[in-house]
Structure 1
Amino acid sequence: MSSQLFDAIDYLAKEKGIDKDVLLEALEAALISAYKKNFKSATNVRVELNEETGKMGVFSRKLVVEEAENTQEELSLEEAKKIDPNYEIEDVIEVEVTPKDFGRIAAQAAKQVVTQRVREAERGVIFSEYADREEDVMTGIIQRKDPRFVYVNLGKIEAKLAEAEQMANEEYHVHDRLKVFVTKVENTSKGPQIFISRSHPGLLKRLFEMEVPEIYDGIVEIKSVAREAGDRSKISVYAPDPDIDPVGSCVGQKGQRVQAIVNELKGEKIDVVEWSDDPVVYVSNALSPSKVVEVLVNDEAKATTVVVPDYQLSLAIGKRGQNARLAAKLTGWKIDIKSETEAREEGLLSDIEAEESDNNNDNDLFM
């Protein structure tokens, strides 16, 4: 065996980013397999590789006996003493059994096994690289489509965007660039597989982290996200420093920051609301852009009854109940919305509250 093989291993290790020892172990396994296959040997053999000389040797463990009947596994005492006079019966001795033409046979047999090991090692490297990107946003290029998946090239691997993870308002064209949320990275028998999403709430959260420096720096915190992908989303934010406006930070000057995210999500409407540990305030904020007259809280059931002006009822509920549904998902509180008229009939509003509300409504109408 020439030193060219070791040079090739060095090259593969550097080119593929694979540990050199992994390749050497694969080569040894391949050579042992080739020896046993081509020379009908079932003995316990090992291969010794010498990188300095570029040589290899095959060694077999044999039991020292008086007369050897199975020469593959036994060595006569007479032959053993020729190697070392101190050997006795029942000793185990290692004997070099390298055939003359083994280099040629071994090279052929080793090629396939080493190639397989290299492929496995490459898969391991790719899996390790992408496993760290789980729950992160990556940019890829659409390579192809079929009825079940859109396949997105993320660099060293092709990821699957399932139909359930696609946005209903979005069309996917080959060669389009796309930001995706990595939901899962698996190491399967067929190699690493990456599953991605365009509809996951995590995508919205990560996009805000990328677009808003205050979030990235920890000055503003994202508390919750509720999303109906491609249509509308709500995100609640909080700033521990009372001098920081968390909503303003996320919206940006003239709405530039949030608009960049809306554009990325193909026009998905986004409500940014301020988080509060007071459910009255939080639920009121979450129902934006609707105005709220009163929030009645049932802590035990984690439920609220929200009273809104009559003319704001449909706005508070939203189209097909979307605004109320997203607000409930965002806050974690059940939300039952009632108009003022209905609330008065049920005795939920005091006379003072009703009078104040009427005054506010009158003012709203003249604004």
Structure 2
Amino acid sequence: MTKLVSGCILCLILFNGFTAFSQQKEAWIMQPKEKWKPIALINEVWYQNGERYVHSSFEYAATGFLIDTGTDTLAVTAKHVLWIAKTKAMNRVDMGNSLQKWLMHPKNNLADSVVIDRLLNADTSEVLQGPASTITQRDWLVFSTSYHSPAIQPLKPRYSKVNPGEKIYIFASPYEEKSSITIETRVIEAMGTRIIIDIDSTFKVGGASGSPIVDENGYLIGILGGSSVSRKTGKPAIYAISTHYLQKALDQDKNLNTPLISAQELLLPIILSKGMKAAVKEYRRHYASHESRLKYDLESPSLNKLGQHLLLLNHPKDAIEAFQLSIADFPWYFETYNLLGNAYVAAGNSIKAIKAYQQSVKLYPEDKTAQEAINTLSAK
């Protein structure tokens, strides 16, 4: 009986290519690369009253592509493309009746095009820009199409966890390239919805936002967001957002655009009731869990906000621990060392404050804030 149940589970995994990673290669990726159909597209957008982009220098709005859901072919691009392709009045992830025409097509090839129909994950409550915006946590725009050329290769999504070291392809349309490009590289790390990807330092990310990240078997695993840094080495990298949100969008999840729970929301009540030691224990438990990281924002900027709030509450020692957690998560951001220095000053420890500011200067000599703080503390 056990063998029968195990066999049935295995069959479900192998034959459901949209809920679990299938080891079978897609037919298109087994062909020679020169025979691959176009994948990377460019977005050309027109709104009513002649509005197109926030600046006339843009010829198109980054990269898009097609996905095969098993029942339909949809078009997708990065949600933050709407920072570029928007009306003057738009500040929600919703185009209302303002859209006149949205085309996707391979660079320098208008014949093989995609005609956008409507935005499937529009949300009048989701803020597009400003301090309240969290759209880059779920950086997918999903469109139905009224036409798509059969000459363009749609991609089947994979929803299983991405692993460090996986070989991947990026199909991109950077502004500085004359045509679309294909990059072969590897995943550095992946946790929650965020995928950090190794990239050559000469790669120009402008225009590549929205590019599909495809595994070695031909399945879509993420969408390119922008520039990043390797946590381990500090070297330039790029980041992508996994297909976790895409799956929710296709499933029409009612809580589709709920932001991740911040470190402050999670940990502050614990700090105030049980102390920082209990909060750190809870943080480490969630930080190590892929599933928890799909729900909580435990990355460095979120921890910095927690630390700043603790300083406002006159909890400098707790703030120091929050900033130290932030540095452990991402040790390459100079501003965190400035914040740590401020916390040490508030705690009355000038020696450690100076060391924190010195590390800030080392990471970013152009910033004068840390050097001024060092001069002030040294003069006392």
TM-score (norm 2): 0.26
Higher relative contact order (CA closer than 8 Å, sequence separation 6+):
2
Task: Give the structure with the larger helix fraction.
Answer: 1
TM-score (norm 1): 0.26
